[in-house]
Structure 1
Amino acid sequence: MDNKIKILVVDDHQVVLDGFVARLELESDIDVVDTASNGIEAIESVRISRPDVVLMDISMPHCSGLEATAEIKAQFPNVKVLILTMHDNREYIMKVMQAGAVGYMLKDISSDKLIQAIKTVYQGSTYFCESVTQTLFTQSVQAITQKVNPLSRREDMILKMVAQGESSKKIAKSLNISYRTVETHRQNIKHKLDLYTTAGLTKYAVEKGILSS
């Protein structure tokens, strides 16, 4: 296939790296173009192999996944960085989102969910595994409820679905409204919040507790 999703896998544990690569190579529409064992190698590999999606570990020698993510997004803004780590920690999650990552998963994720996550971020949405979402919710609900939300109930609903990785087409079908109406709502949400990226909208939804409503 000419339109395979090009993947770079980054992890400092060779066994883990080999396991991910072996699973991804079973997919006919995914092509593992390279691997790296630290952030420095990851940045250089992105420069050479130009992947669509980077599966990025966080804790690595020489250059962490957080540092590498920020550098990759600065140099190659179209590359999607999907964090795959053992750290179920809100501080890590928020930092990598701020660095430009579009998804966050724990390494105990099922292989099917891993493939789903890759395809989701490749298509322009964000992806967070259930346990990560729960971590974000439980640690931020109190602060969230004290802040005013400028969005309407319908806009809240659409923002929630956007943050869950749903496309405008799927949102329209779920809410029984037109695709054009969904797109209008999405534009209104962006203008009201002064946020113009899916990652930014997702971060807002997490911080405001919209996903848990």
Structure 2
Amino acid sequence: MSPETEPSQWVKPVSVVIAEDHVAIGTLLSRLLEARGAYRVLEQFTRGADVARRCHELRPQLLILDIELPDMSGLQVAREVAATTPETHILVFSGNIHPEVVCDALRAGVRGILEKTAGLELLESAVATVSLGRDFFGPAVLPILPQALRLMQDAPTDGLTDREREILVLVAEGMSNRAIAQRLGISERTVGNHRANTMGKLGAHNAADLTREAMRLGLVRPRARNES
């Protein structure tokens, strides 16, 4: 190639980190992006524990994040990444889309939310948009966005959503995740995610800490010694 025809400037590919607990989905997503030539996948995770640390080290432009990771809530990962690496734009790509999740995701600093039932064209649009630091919401998110925004405005000063406060009370009453799921008619995994979010917001590490926080917030009263 002669100097006259050589491009004066090469466009650097967008750097991406993927956190997705389903290996096949993460691998296919990685291959899809790499095949476009405009993206470079730096690392792929199936668990959340090391994502924030590696994002801080790698400084990717985009984090594609599933919120249902096996070891911790993806929303907690999002909060950590937003706090330590604000230049990394976060796209939530999840099958668990409802107003409370959208509310928590927005509060965590997420720029885009797309449901996993979306087609590839929408996925590519979401990736391209969020990597530039712009907001993107999938067609399943848009109808519930007003409710999610109201939840953000109505959130109590402790930072917990209504569902998180409800689960906090049940944990303080000694109920297991399975029992809470049966009581509320939601999945045990969803309970775990809400519980992890609550622990992160309150700085709690176990059920005993959550119980103390529930008492501090006045959500439950201390039991007398002769109470069962």
What's the RMSD between the two structures over aligned residues?
A: 1.9
What one-letter code is carried by the residue in structure 1 that aligns with 2:136?
Y
- Considering Cα pairs closer than 8 Å and 6+ residues apart, tell me whether 1 or 2 has the greater RCO: 1
Q: Which runs of 4+ in 1 moved over 6 A?
A: none
* Pick aligned residue for 2:67 from 55, 58, 68: 58
Letter in 2 for 1:128: F
1:96 equivalent among 101, 105, 112: 105
Residue 105 in 1 paired to residue 122 in 2?
no
Cα 1:140–1:60 shift into 2, 3 Å:
closer
Question: Secondary structure of 1:118's partner?
Answer: helix
Residue of 55, 67, 71 corresponding to 2:76: 67
Aligned partner (choices 1, 6, 18) of residue 27 of structure 2: 18
Are residues 1:44 and 2:44 paired? Answer: no
Query: What are the Cα deviations for residues 35-82 of structure 1, in whole angstroms up to 9, with x where unaligned?
Result: 111221211221232210000000112221100000000001111010
CA contact (8 A) 1:6 1:52 kept: yes
Structure 1: stretches of 5+ with no match in the other structure: 145-213
Identify which of 28, 34, 43 aligns with 1:34. 43
Highest Rg: 1 or 2?
2
Could you tell me which residue of structure 2 aligns to residue 117 of structure 1?
126
Tell me the equivalent position of 2:141.
132
Structure 2 segments unaligned to the other structure (5+ residues): 1-9, 152-228
Q: 1: distance between equivalents of 2:85 and 2:148? A: 31
Report how many residues are paired. 142
| Alignment check: 8 A CA contact 1:7 1:53 kept | yes
- The answer to which structure has the higher helix fraction is 1
Letter in 1 for 2:61: D
* Structure 2 length-normalised TM: 0.58
In 1: Cα distance, 2:75 partner to 2:143 partner: 21
Supply the AA of the counterpart residue of 1:53: L
CA drift of 1:2 comes to 4.4
For residues 73-105 of structure 1, the C-alpha deviation after alignment (integer angstroms, 9 at most, x for no partner) is: 000111101000001211001101101000100
SS at match of 2:17: strand
Residue 140 of structure 1 and its aligned partner are, at CA, apart by 6.7
Residues in 1 aligned to 2:56 and 2:79: alpha-carbon distance in whole angstroms: 14
